[in-house]
Chains A and B, each alone.
Chain A
């Protein structure tokens, strides 16, 4: 790219039309400043590498240039677009492609290769014809054409990155930003990836490419370089110019020479004393080790022996079975076939003794983010059964050994990856293990930190005779192992000392040897991915697309989100089952259980009188179908005790001389002691008892004829409307439908946004021209549909199974339900937008729905009888309004006209929730 503009200099006065111009940019996360006053000036149409150790702010800078991260201070002008100008930035997003860090981070694991690319194409507003053409071309060019229907989750790391690249390129961007695209990918796939990028660029020379990378040898292929350290730019120049200026042959050396004097000291060459087998049998033996997950064979008859004190390396790409093999050796996973022995003892899952001798470091950071460095180490040491004092001593030693003293009281979350990995190694070594099993300990760690890490390993191996079993995808690390094994797709391709492997293949380097091995292995492999044979001219045929605009374009983007969400949901059978099954179970159980019908009232009698009169009174209760007699109470204390023990609900206390007093007209008092622990029940018991006694008294008076009873002067006629039989099921079923349709649909969407934030796929929203409104609406639609299915099932069950007739209009009920489901799923999205973790979202959704749902929405107590705050909540919460529609349609049989207000309120609350969520979600990373 010799036609690139001149080198960095004074930033131009006017925004730089063509290239990337960054001036005085600062960025902080909380108190930590990630970028200090960064200014760079880069040409368009070039390839630009951003290099530097981990945690120096590369990703932050790329995010700012792409416009996916919020600018805090300074100016960024990318391809003539000022990132501070919201409108301009949003228009610009259609011209840029951003591929975030992490293997397949922007892909959706259950979607197929084609569906993933198709989603991005729709997001960027491509029409059907362009979409088809573009996807076909990209699949051809990347060699993915043979498996368009394979789910992304089942792709190897290299293939995932190719799919990600396809997704990024599908809208034919002017600027391609790749954040560490090849980290964790095997060398063959890595080569293929860069060949691919070069080819694509050759066909579209105008496209600018910015790549951040931790592999210095890769950076040499870029026209321009930005070298960074600690949030500052060390150099920003043409690659050749940097090499010339520093006078070094390789970029790795050039980078080190750019560092301040003080930091270069650690970069001396690492020398490893030769390995001598101390004898005593191998430390680790694997024979025909095999692991199957269902039909998938993750590890296929792997055999190797590792000597005591040896450094043994596993070299292979992500997903080749390295981690699974290691987990089997630690006992984390059961062995499907074959045997694994550690110091001659077979590995068993529950074998705590052998765990005392093994230190294990998993690929992902697996210490506690919530604990400080010191607390993590202390917990680890104490769990290894050291006394508090000994643990304390070991932690201090470990902090010193691994140079962690400066960060001892910080939490790992904010630390650079290199330090986090060092912490993990310190934790794994805290018990002086005889064997260290390290799963990609240096993945994503910058060169200097890796050097430091390996010094520790060598010291442990040669100094303390610790056997080290390490997996890596770095060639220079593999070359340091005493022996290595090449792994691919669950099989070991070759084992031996690195030099021996190079010689056996007649290769120049270890990487070439591995690549040769891989190519040989893939020759007969149906999954092999050829590359570089793209026959179709990419990009040329389709030309520049014009994204759909106006209302059609708006709907199309929302549809892209909806379609993707729907496919994901359809593939998640369990979630579908719960979404529909949950409400059904709830309805069936509630309809059979909730009842206001008084069944039996248990009574006990304390009869101090024992006359005909008192017995007659008791007989009245015995004769009532509602009352059931329990054992009698000899005295008042016994009666009270019965009530206290819950053996009776009411105690009838007949005084001595009751019969005599009645006969004499002295109006004696009969005590009723009623269990009022449950007030509703207490009031009912009282009413029933009084009813029984009143009837008895009237009968007594009539019978005796002593006093002629006046006929009542008035006839009071209660008429139970809507539910003449006064059956609970008619009153409760509509309410349970209301409850089920707020509890479950809200939970369906409550994780929608927050989960994407945790996983990182929300980046696709940030990096696309789609709006938050389209995103939210698209996310809502599939869940509304699923919830509608649940609603239909509930109505069907109510009418058929429970025998609750739908007296009113099905159409009115369904319209109401539709609005209600929009409100419920909208509420879920609002919760999701508001919370910061999935746990909090589940918690919040549960509380927000359950408390008003059962208390303030008319399920048991009509909203009209509530007062104060309860009434307020009932009026604001959508459930109470749907209760009016549900109860009205089912049991009251009233028409749609009655529901106008309720319908309007539901619509308003649906819109309110979505608006709230819209305002809470920012379309940029902080």
Chain B
């Protein structure tokens, strides 16, 4: 056992030396955990935000102007005035999401109590914006209209009122969510590719074969490769979380960083083992690249980092609960946002550990047969 430890340690150190020599790779890792996180954190708004809106104003009244002025950032961009044809064209081209149609004599009809109608056309293909955006617009318009009525609509006082408090992200800041989720995505993509490509490169250069004639077992080689590369990603991801996300972006980290670090390490090991498994399937680098793409893309789409798992069909939710990526996203949200402890995240952690063991086992079994095939 001691011998095993020494061998793995020696091979890990060798991996570290190799990686240190590869400037381009290191540069890409640094990019993925710094600039890429910031670009996404600043660029992506996961809820209704900065949405494009236009008015077709056939009324031209004070009220219609007031309605327009009520539409404001951060939910909406400043509205533009368009004619009907331009509106349609821009909806078609996707440069407009909402078009509000104020009919002629709108204000006059309203004041006369003729209950005019206000049309809002919504591009329903912009799903993240359309549904909630309409709710917000209705709210804005009703308030503006109520204010504009000469005799205040003696709105009967409602019997009680709601005090909604958004927990864990009180101001619904997208960056809190997207930055952390981007770290998870980068960890997944980089681990799979780094370990997988490293195995294939060593295979193509014959260095794995060289190690196998020394008193070194395939298991030791595989484990060392996974640990060494996983460690690099682990450290990079953790630093990124602390420095880029916490310090720079000012995202509070609710839960225990120690607990998260443990879970992160387990996850990195799991996806690294997955990368190695893929490398044993692919005969050479081009095939490996193509094999890796759907794996990480699907893992990302199903993880809950793109769209919430809660929105997926119930059956699918059950099916994907065995995926380590999905469990890691759920665990990350629990620990970092909700401040949950081990009593909450033990199950996802267990799933990750089991999948790590499983991937590792398959990778090891295939490792030797891969070498035989190649000879």
Known contacts A324-B375, A713-B149, A855-B44; decide if A844 and B28 are in contact (CB<8 Å). yes
Whether B32 contacts A679 by the Cβ 8 Å rule is no
Q: B190 contacts which chain A residues (CB < 8 A)? A: 843
- In the complex, residue of chain B having the shortest beta-carbon distance to the beta carbon of A640: B167
CA A810 – CA B219 in complex, angstroms?
A: 53
Q: How far is the CA of A365 from the CA of B138 in the complex (A)?
A: 72
Given A595-B311, A720-B124, A850 and B189 contact (CB-CB distance below 8 Å): yes
Contacts of A24 in B (CB 8 A): none
**A901 CB contacts on chain B under 8 angstroms:** 93
Contact of B290 with A747 in the complex, beta carbons under 8 Å: yes
Interface majority SS on B: helix, strand, loop or mixed? helix
B interface footprint on A712-755 (CB within 8 Å = 1, 0 otherwise): 11111111111110101011101000011001100110110001
A734–B121 CA distance with the chains assembled, in angstroms: 21
Known contacts A713-B153, A715-B116, A847-B36: A676-B170 contact under CB 8 Å: yes
A332 in contact with B212 given A595-B311, A596-B311 (CB within 8 Å): yes
Judge whether A717 and B159 touch: CB under 8 Å: no
> Beyond A385-B215, A646-B340, is A744–B290 a contact (Cβ under 8 Å)?
yes
Question: Is A371 among interface residues, defined by CB-CB distance under 8 A?
Answer: yes
User: Given the interface contacts A379-B14, A596-B127, A873-B39, does A716 sit within 8 Å of B138 by beta carbon?
Assistant: yes
> With a CB–CB cut-off of 8 A, which chain A residues contact B129?
861-862, 865
A690 at the interface (CB under 8 A from B): yes
B197 touches A838 (CB 8 A): yes
Interface contact B289-A747, CB-CB below 8 Å: yes
**B173 interface residue per 8 A CB criterion:** yes
User: Can you list, as one digit per residue, whether each of A829-840 has a CB less than 8 Å from chain B (1) or not (0)?
Assistant: 000000111111
Bound: A289/B316 CA distance, A: 53
CB distance from B280 to the nearest CB of A (A): 14
In the assembled complex, the Cα of A281 lies from the Cα of B193 at a distance in Å of: 50
A720 touches B122 (CB 8 A): yes
CB-defined A-B contacts under 8 Å, sample of 20:
A368-B207, A370-B22, A585-B298, A586-B301, A593-B320, A595-B307, A645-B344, A669-B162, A671-B165, A713-B149, A728-B127, A751-B289, A839-B285, A842-B289, A860-B127, A865-B51, A867-B50, A869-B42, A870-B40, A894-B92
- Which single member of B126, B137, B160, B207 contacts A668 (CB below 8 Å)? B160
Is A676 a contact of B308 with CB atoms below 8 Å? no
Contact present for A868 and B164 (CB under 8 Å): no
- With A671-B165, A864-B52 already in contact, the answer to whether A838 and B201 are too (CB < 8 A) is yes
B206 on interface, CB distance cutoff 8 Å: yes
Please report which residues of chain B, range 75-123, place their CB below 8 angstroms from some CB of chain A when the two chains form the complex: 77, 89, 91-97, 110, 113, 115-123
Enumerate B202-230 residues with CB–CB distance to A below 8 Å.
Answer: 205-207, 209-217
Q: Are B131 and A726 in contact (CB under 8 A)?
A: yes
Q: Is A689 an interface residue (CB 8 A)?
A: yes
Number of interface residues of A (CB under 8 A): 165
User: Is B142 located at the chain interface by the 8 A CB criterion?
Assistant: yes
The 6 closest A-B pairs by CB, nearest first: A870-B43, A707-B156, A723-B124, A578-B290, A676-B166, A720-B124
Contacts of B211 in A (CB 8 A): 383
Given A594-B306, A681-B311, A884-B94, 13 further pairs, Cβ under 8 A: A575-B286, A665-B157, A677-B169, A679-B173, A714-B116, A715-B116, A721-B121, A721-B122, A724-B124, A755-B286, A842-B193, A860-B46, A888-B93
| B312 engages A679 (CB within 8 Å) | no
* Cβ–Cβ contact B306 & A847, under 8 A: no
A750 to B43 alpha-carbon distance, docked (Å): 26
A711 interfacial by beta-carbon distance below 8 Å: yes
What's the least CB distance linking A865 to chain B, in Å? Answer: 5
Interface with A: B261-269, B331-339, B354-362, which one?
Answer: B331-339
Contacts of A627 in B (CB 8 A): none
| Nearest CB of chain B from residue A869's CB, rounded to whole Å | 6
A677 lies within 8 A of B291 (CB): no
CA–CA, A579 to B92, complex, Å? 31
Judged by a CB distance under 8 angstroms, whether B318 is at the interface is no
| Docked pose: A724 CA to B213 CA in angstroms | 66
Q: Mark B163-198, 1 if CB is under 8 A from A, else 0.
A: 111111110111011100010011001100110011
B256 to chain A, nearest CB (A): 13
Q: Does B313 count as interface, using CB distance less than 8 angstroms?
A: yes
Q: List, in ascending order, chain B residues with CB within 8 A of A590's CB.
A: 298, 301
Check: A362 CB closer than 8 A to any chain B CB. Answer: yes
Query: A380 contacts the other chain (Cβ, under 8 Å)?
Result: yes
**In the complex, A250→B134 CA distance in Å?**
94
Does B321 sit at the interface, judged by CB under 8 A?
A: no
Q: Quick check: B214 and A593 within 8 Å, CB to CB?
A: no
Whether the pair A714, B110 counts as a contact (CB closer than 8 A) is yes
Residue of B nearest to A298 (CB): B375
Contacts of B207 in A (CB 8 A): 366-368
The interface residues of chain A lying within 8 Å CB-to-CB of B36 are 847, 851
Q: Hey, which chain B residues are within 8 Å of A585, CB to CB?
A: 294, 298
A484 to chain B, nearest CB (A): 23
Known: A589-B301, A850-B296, A884-B93. A869 touches B43 (CB 8 A): yes
Of A590, A593, A707, A883, which is in contact with the most chain B CB atoms at under 10 Å from its CB? A593
CA distance A707 to B77 in the complex (A): 39
Q: Which residues of A contact B156 (CB under 8 A)?
A: 701, 706-710
Chain A residues with CB under 8 A of B92: 888, 892, 894, 898
Interchain CA distance A367-B50 in the complex, whole Å? 56
Contacts of A888 in B (CB 8 A): 92-94
8 Å CB contacts to B: which residues of A815-874?
835-847, 850-851, 854-856, 858, 860-871, 873
CB pair B165 A371 closer than 8 Å: no
Q: Is A287 an interface residue (CB 8 A)?
A: no
Chain B, 277-307, CB within 8 A of any chain A CB: 282-283, 285-294, 296-298, 300-302, 304, 306-307
Identify which of A352, A720, A840 contacts B215 (C-beta below 8 A).
A352
A224 to B344, CA, bound (A): 82
Q: With A371-B14, A644-B339 in contact, is A574–B209 under 8 Å at CB?
A: no
Q: Does B311 lie within 8 Å of A898, measured CB to CB?
A: no
Pick from A593, A679, A701: contact of B47, CB under 8 Å: A679
Q: Which of B117, B178, B285 contacts A751 (CB 8 A)?
A: B285
Cross-chain contact B162 with A711 (CB below 8 angstroms): no
Q: Which of A330, A840, A891 is in CB contact (< 8 Å) with B25?
A: A840
Of all chain A residues, the one with the shortest Cβ separation from B281 is: A574
Question: Which residues on B sit within 8 Å (CB–CB) of A365?
Answer: 206
Whether the pair B167, A676 counts as a contact (CB closer than 8 A) is yes
* Interface residue B246 (Cβ < 8 Å from any Cβ of A): no
On chain A, the residues within 8 Å of B10 by CB distance are 379, 382-383
Chain A minimum-CB-distance residue to B155 = A710
When the two chains form their complex, are residues A662 and B52 in contact, meaning their CB atoms are under 8 A apart? no
A194 within 8 A of B: no
Judge if A349 is at the interface, Cβ distance under 8 Å: yes
> Provided the pairs A370-B18, A670-B162, A719-B119 are in contact, do residues A714 and B316 lie with their beta carbons within 8 angstroms?
no
- A887 located at the interface, meaning its Cβ lies under 8 Å from any Cβ of chain B in the complex: yes
**B52, B118, B126, B185: which contacts A716 (Cβ < 8 A)?**
B118
Is residue A700 contacting chain B, with contact meaning CB distance below 8 A?
Answer: yes
In the complex, A358 has a CB within 8 A of chain B:
yes
CA distance A869 to B176 in the complex (A): 18
Task: Tell me, in angstroms, the Cα distance from A717 to B185 when the chains sit together.
Answer: 40
B1 contacts the other chain (CB 8 A): no
In A370-394, the 8 Å CB interface with B consists of 370-371, 375, 379-380, 382-385
- Expressed in whole angstroms, the Cα–Cα distance for A366 and B203 within the complex equals 10
CA of A353 to CA of B50 in the docked complex: distance in angstroms? 68
A581 to B291, CA, bound (A): 10
Report which of A748, A839, A858 forms a contact with B201, defined as CB distance below 8 A. A839
> Among the listed A690, A747, A841, A866, which residue makes an inter-chain contact with B162, where contact means beta carbons less than 8 Å apart?
A690
Give the Cβ gap from A762 to chain B, nearest Cβ, in Å.
15
Q: Decide if A612 is an interface residue (CB 8 Å cutoff).
A: no
